[in-house]
Copies of this chain bind each other. A is one copy, B any other.
C-alpha cells in the first residue's frame, strides 16, 4: 500500500542531509565539497565545511560505498604475525595505506590456504579495493575471484619472472643457491639442512630446492638423514643441531643451512651448550637477518631482506592501480643481501 508509514531505526547519527540544510544547499553540493571541491564555488565550499565541522559530521562509509562503488579499504593476507618478517610487511603497508586515506583489513591464514581463502572472501564481501597476498600458494578460486571482480592484487615474498601474478619479493630459490654456493666456496662438502615445513609454503619449498640444486651442480647431495624439518622455533633449531652434531665427527655435516635465522639461532645456542664453536667446528647460516643475528656471538651469516619496503612497495603499487595511475601492479624484485659473519668459515679450518 503506497503511502504507508514505516519506522526504521537509522543510525541516529548526523548525516549529510543535516549538513546540507544547515548550509542551505543541496545534498549534491555537500557531497561535491568533499569529493570534487573544484566544482564548488569557494564561498559555498567554506560554508559547507563550516557546517560539517559544527555538526561534527562523519560520512557514513556504507552509504558512500554503495553509491560510488568505492570503499577506500585494502586488505592483506599473511600467514601469521608471529613471524616478524610479516609483521614488518604489514607495518609498511599500513603506513602507506593510512596515508592515502585507506584503511587496512588484516587476515592471517596460519599457513592454511583454505583459511586464507575464507578471510579473503570476507574482505571481498566488504568491498576491499585491492589485496596483497603472501606467496603464491593460494587456492585457484581465490585468484579467480580477484580476477572476476577485477580487484588488483600482488603476491609478496615470492618473485619469479615466470609468475602469472604480479609479485614483489625475491627469488627464494636463487637466494639459497647463493647461500649454498658461499658454503661450497669455503670448502664444505657435507651439508645438512634444518627447515620449516614445506607444506603450503612455496617460499620454503623454493629455498630447499635452491640448496639441492646448488649441491647437485657441485655433484653433491644432502643425505636424507641430514634434512630435518619442523617448527620455526629456537627449540627445534636447538634439538636438530644436537641431533646432527652428536654423531661421530667423521659423518657429521660441516655446513648446516637453516631455513631462517630463528632456527639458526636456536642451533647456535645448542652449540654453545655442547661446547661446539662456529666456524671452527662447523659452519651455519640463516635467512632474514633479524636484529639479534648480527649481535649474537658468533655473528650469524644470513641474508637480509627489507621486509618493510616489500610492504610499502606492495601498497604503493596497489594504490597506483586503484587511483587509476597505472593499469596493473608492476612486479618488483627485491634483492636479498648476503651478510657474511663469523658463523661460516673455511673448511677445513686453517688453525693459526
Chain A residues near B (Cβ < 8 Å): 9-11, 13, 58-63, 65-66, 69, 71-73, 80-82, 84, 87-88, 90-91, 94-95, 98, 101, 103-108, 110, 118-119, 121-127, 149, 233-235, 238, 265-266, 269, 272-273, 291-292, 295-297
Contacts and interface: CB of A to CB of B under 8 A. Distances in A.
Given A73-B126, A104-B106, 17 more contacts: A58-B121, A59-B125, A60-B127, A62-B62, A62-B66, A63-B66, A66-B66, A72-B126, A81-B91, A84-B84, A87-B87, A94-B108, A98-B119, A103-B123, A106-B106, A269-B296, A269-B297
Contact of A80 (B58, B71, B91, B265): B91
Contacts of A60: 66, 125, 127
Contacts of A269: 295-297
Contacts of A98: 107-108, 118-119, 122
A122 B73 CA distance: 10
A88 B86 CA distance: 12
A177 to B, nearest CB: 29
A338 to B, nearest CB: 21
| Copies of this chain present | 2
B61 A125 contact: yes
A58 B127 CA distance: 10
A107 B103 CA distance: 8
Given A71-B62, A234-B292, A295-B234, A88 B95 contact: no
A103 B101 contact: no
Contacts of A105: 103-106
Contact of A291 (B11, B90, B234): B234
A63 B62 CA distance: 7
Contacts of A103: 105, 107, 119, 122-123, 126
A94 B119 CA distance: 10
Contacts of A88: 81-82
Nearest to A80: B91
A87 B94 contact: no
Closest 10 CB pairs of A and B: A62-B65, A81-B87, A61-B126, A62-B66, A106-B106, A81-B91, A87-B87, A62-B62, A103-B122, A61-B125
15 contacts: A58-B124, A62-B71, A62-B127, A71-B126, A72-B126, A81-B90, A82-B84, A82-B87, A104-B105, A106-B106, A233-B291, A234-B292, A234-B295, A238-B295, A269-B296
A197 B339 CA distance: 31
Given A60-B127, A295-B234, A13 B91 contact: no
A11 to B, nearest CB: 5
A81 B144 CA distance: 31
B149 A13 contact: yes
A108 B91 contact: yes
A182 B180 CA distance: 48
Contacts of A104: 105-107
A299 to B, nearest CB: 11
A65 B87 CA distance: 30
A125 B291 contact: no
A136 to B, nearest CB: 22
Contacts of A272: 297
